[in-house]
Amino acid sequence: MDITWYVVLSALLFAIGAGGVLIRRSPLVILLCLELMLNASNLALVAFSRAQGNEDGQVFALIVMVVAACEVVVGLGLIVAMFRRRLPLNVDEMRDLRG
Amino acid sequence: MSATTYGWLVLAFPLAGCLISAFGWRVLPGRAAGWIGTAAIALAFLSSIGALVALLDKPVQSRELTSSLYSYASAAGLDIKLGILVDPLSVYMILVVSGVSALIHLYSVAYLASDRGYSRYFSYLNFFVFSMLLLVLAGNFVLLIVGWAFVGFASYALISFWYRRHTATRAGMKAFVINVIGDVGLVFAAFFIFRDLGTFDYLSVFHAAPQHFSTNQGVLIAICLLILVGAFAKSAQLPLHTWLPDAMEGPTPVSALIHAATMVTAGVYLIARTHPLFELAPTAADISAFIGLATLIFAATVALAVTDLKRIIAYSTISQIGYMVVGVSIGAYAAGLFHLMTHAFFKALLFMGAGSVISAMAGTQDIDRMGGLRRALPFTSVLMIVGALALAGFPLTSGFFSKDEILVFASNRGGFYWIFTVGGYLAALLTAFYAFRIIFRVFWGEPVPEARELEGGHLAHAEPANPLTGEPEDTDVGFPGPEHHIAERDRPMWLAMATLGVLSIVGGALQIPGLDHVIETFLRGSFLDSRLYESVPSVLADWEGLAVGGAVALAGIAAAYFVYVARPGTSAALARRFRPVHAFLVNKWYFDELYDAVVYRPAIRIGRFSTGVIERVVVDGIVTATVDAVRGIGVVVRGAQSGFVRAYALLLIGGFAGLGLYFLIVSS
């Protein structure tokens, strides 16, 4: 089995996600793009796991999903909190931590 | 009860008295605190007698008993016990200390009756006696240092007793600082002893020292000299004597107890206690003896010129302790300690008499303003004359036997030790002269107004003033009250002085050459290992020395009579004739000025330099430079923290991409 296509797809998905994180300003979309990057890596892990013939990569993929779920919980929680305080939903305006 | 049980009781009574007076000051009525304090010391004296009796039951070879309550510290070869050593030397000392202290407490009951700090006074005084007894009973160097420091504190507290009088507080601080110099010396000595012998315990140290050290070994001489620093600071020997004359700012009974009879003799006790070390280091012992000789002549000359009644007696004390230091340093232990006891009797008596005189003069201490008090103060004058006779070494008084025994021992020892005999007799001449200078100036001559007033039955009460500066004082707390008490009118003072007067006369009977040697026999148990103890002069030599001493004393008294009574005005003429010498003596050989120039001013200058240069430039410079460096780096680095989340993300992703590219290129 040739894994090249899987890896190329994974790389494309990852690049799209990374580009989204860098370009978009809405925190909600940034969170979506992060998910995309995580799933791109999951795809690569599963593909390599199949190619190698052992299950380690699939285990990693499961762990990444758990981490992603946690991250979404925290991230969405933050976004909801920002919304309720009527803060602008724009990451460029949230720069109180500048030095 | 065993001797050690009595030893613990001796310590317990004064401590209990101290605590009762300290905590009961609000409820104790009238003179109760004074009587409680006196009773506590009297009980300690009775316990001392108990210890003496218990000790005499034992054979001479086994009269060194130890006892300990618990171990302070016990680790890695270190074993320090809260232990006492009851042997003839310590029992002798507790007898002298508690006996004289009991009489001085009795005197104080009346003398301080109108003082606002009555309970506080007796609490301090009992604490002092407790510390002094702890010092002499201690069974190891650590407990000795504890007692040593306690005594220094008690002395400070009592010198500064009238704390609203600024001269008194300054004198207290001076005494404390100089005493701490001595404490440091003693601590270092103990440290060296532990380093070389591995123990602090007296008996083990003295037992191990001859095997461990060779004669005059360097480290042993260092130990002995450090011990001497401690001893000389406490005993006011050259060059650490300057605090004692100033200590006369305290109440007169304090001067009698601490600064004449007991505390200042602690140095003598210490040298006698550590005699096995000094006999192994004869060089250190000789240095000690020469310093004692220098002190005794120096102080006697100063006593010829100063005019403050208490300061004359203070310089006399310094001088007399010089005799004791010479005695215990050259090996005349029994004689030196005998003089310690007789001196305690007659010097305490002289101070008590001085207190009575000062009261009669409404606080004045300057003998230039006294005169003709003989008829006004019949009892005090007789007792003062008795004290002065004993001090001068008048034949058959106590001082006559004890002083001459030291000097005869010196001449009997051979070698250069004759110097001590000659110097001692020279100083004895001066002693007799200044002792009767006090008597003739105070009690003879034209009666002063206060004396006439007292002859008419009325005791003068002047406005309270600082006797040193003449500044007026208020009579609120912390000052001597306006009321004065004289021995003629107050029974406790009368009783204490009478007892000491009798002891000053007959005290010498304990040790009369050829007749008896009670003290020498008794103390032998503590000096079994001493090579010098047995080398006592023959009875004939003793009596020759006594004859010389008696002649010297009579000559001194006669000279004083000639100068102050037969030809009044001679002393003023002499002072005018030898003005530089007189100024030199009145200024106490300029020791205070010397220390001012050598120690005080350079210290202040170093302090100014430190604040000006080291503190401002060096310390502040280091701190400021550190702060500036951190802040400067911060300004540079701060630019990276833009607060743009996406910029951080770009950096992160770009960074990883860069790393990935690098590894790809490297691996291919």
Nearest CA in chain B to A91: B645
d(CA B64, CA B203): 9
Cα–Cα–Cα angle for B55, B507, B57, rounded to 5 degrees:
10
pLDDT of residue B128: 92
Q: B631, B636, B645: which to substitute to probe chain A, counting the most A Cβ within 10 Å?
A: B645
The SS3 assignment for B191 reads helix
Give every CB contact of residue B306 below 8 A, 6+ residues apart in sequence: B245, B312, B315, B585, B586, B588
d(CA B433, CA B438): 9
Tell the burial category of B113 from Cβ atoms under 10 Å away from its Cβ (0-12, 13-18, 19+). Answer: middle
Q: Which two tokens stand for residue A55?
A: 């299950």
Q: Are B170 and B164 in contact (CB under 8 A)?
A: no
Q: How far is A18 from chain B (nearest CA, A)?
A: 8
d(CA B458, CA B437): 27
Nearest CA in chain A to B651: A22
Contact A94 B649 (CB under 8 A): no
Read off the pLDDT band of B474 (50, 70, 90).
low
Mean pLDDT of B431-459: 83
In sequence order, what E strands does B76-178 have?
78-86
Q: Which two tokens stand for residue B43?
A: 């009980």
Q: Are B7 and B86 in contact (CB under 8 A)?
A: yes
What ipTM is given for this predicted complex? 0.85
Pairing of the two strands B78-86 and B511-512: unpaired
Q: Which residues pair with B201 in a beta bridge?
A: B140
Give rounded-to-5 percent helix, strand, coil for chain A.
Answer: 75, 0, 25
- Residues of B in CB contact (< 8 Å) with A are 637-646, 649-650, 653
- Residues of chain B found within 8 Å of residue A21, distances taken between Cβ atoms: 646, 649, 653
Contact A99 B646 (CB under 8 A): no
3-state secondary structure B549-602: HHHHHHHHHHHHHHHHHHCCCHHHHHHHHCHHHHHHHHCHHHHHHHHHHHHHHH
pLDDT of residue B481: 67
Contact B653 A21 (CB under 8 A): yes
pLDDT at B75 over 80: no
Nearest CA in chain B to A92: B644
Q: Are B364 and B468 in contact (CB under 8 A)?
A: no
Mean pLDDT of B143-153: 91
Residues for chain B: how many in total? 668
pLDDT of residue B186: 92
- Residues of chain B found within 8 Å of residue A30, distances taken between Cβ atoms: 645
Q: Which two tokens stand for residue B159?
A: 């010198």
Q: How far is B627 from chain A (nearest CA, A)?
A: 18
Q: Are B245 and B319 in contact (CB under 8 A)?
A: no
Contact A95 B644 (CB under 8 A): yes
pLDDT of residue B165: 82
Mean pLDDT of B602-611: 90
The SS3 assignment for B187 reads helix
Q: Are B101 and B262 in contact (CB under 8 A)?
A: yes
Please state which of the ranges B121-135, B222-236, B348-362, B558-572 shows the lowest mean pLDDT.
Answer: B558-572
d(CA B421, CA A10): 113
- Residues of chain B found within 8 Å of residue A22, distances taken between Cβ atoms: 646, 649-650, 653
Classified by CATH at the fold level, domain A4-84 comes out as Helix Hairpins (1.10.287)
Q: A91, A93, A96: which to substitute to probe chain B, counting the most B Cβ within 10 Å?
A: A91
Mean pLDDT of B91-96: 91
Q: Which two tokens stand for residue B608?
A: 């100014």
d(CA B466, CA B7): 42
Q: How far is B656 from chain A (nearest CA, A)?
A: 12
d(CA B199, CA B205): 6
Contact B641 A97 (CB under 8 A): yes
Contact B643 A22 (CB under 8 A): no
Q: How many CB atoms are located within 10 Å of the residue B81 CB?
A: 20
Contact A99 B645 (CB under 8 A): no
Read off the pLDDT band of B487 (50, 70, 90).
confident
pLDDT at B34 over 70: yes
d(CA B371, CA B568): 12
Read off the pLDDT band of A14 (50, 70, 90).
very high
Read off the pLDDT band of B478 (50, 70, 90).
low
pLDDT at B480 over 90: no
Contact A22 B649 (CB under 8 A): yes
Who wins on pLDDT, B166 or B189? B189
Please state which of the ranges A47-51, B93-97, B198-202 shows the lowest mean pLDDT.
Answer: B198-202
- Residues of chain A found within 8 Å of residue B644, distances taken between Cβ atoms: 91-92, 95, 98
Give every CB contact of residue B496 below 8 A, 6+ residues apart in sequence: B103, B104, B106, B107, B352
**What are the two backbone dihedrals, phi and then psi, of residue B140, each rounded to the nearest 5 degrees?**
-150, 170
d(CA B441, CA B312): 12
Contact B643 A96 (CB under 8 A): yes
Q: How far is A30 from chain B (nearest CA, A)?
A: 10
- Residues of A in CB contact (< 8 Å) with B are 18, 21-22, 25, 30, 91-92, 94-99
Residue with tokens 């007169």: B252
Contact B645 A91 (CB under 8 A): yes
Count interface pairs A-B at CB distance under 8 A.
36
Q: B635, B646, B650: which to substitute to probe chain A, counting the most A Cβ within 10 Å?
A: B646
Torsion of CA B246, B333, B405, B514, to 10 degrees: 150
Give every CB contact of residue B131 below 8 A, 6+ residues apart in sequence: B147, B150, B151, B153, B154
pLDDT of residue B76: 65
Q: b vs e for B484-497, b when ≥16 Cβ sit within 10 Å of the residue's Cβ?
A: bbbbbebebbbbbb
Q: How far is A94 from chain B (nearest CA, A)?
A: 8
pLDDT digits 0-9 by tens, A25-67 = 898 999 999 999 999 999 999 999 988 888 888 999 999 999 9
Through-space distance between the first and last CA atoms of chain A, rounded to whole angstroms: 52
Please state which of the ranges B292-306, B416-430, B564-578 shows the lowest mean pLDDT.
Answer: B564-578
d(CA B195, CA B200): 10
d(CA B184, CA B234): 12
Q: How far is B621 from chain A (nearest CA, A)?
A: 28
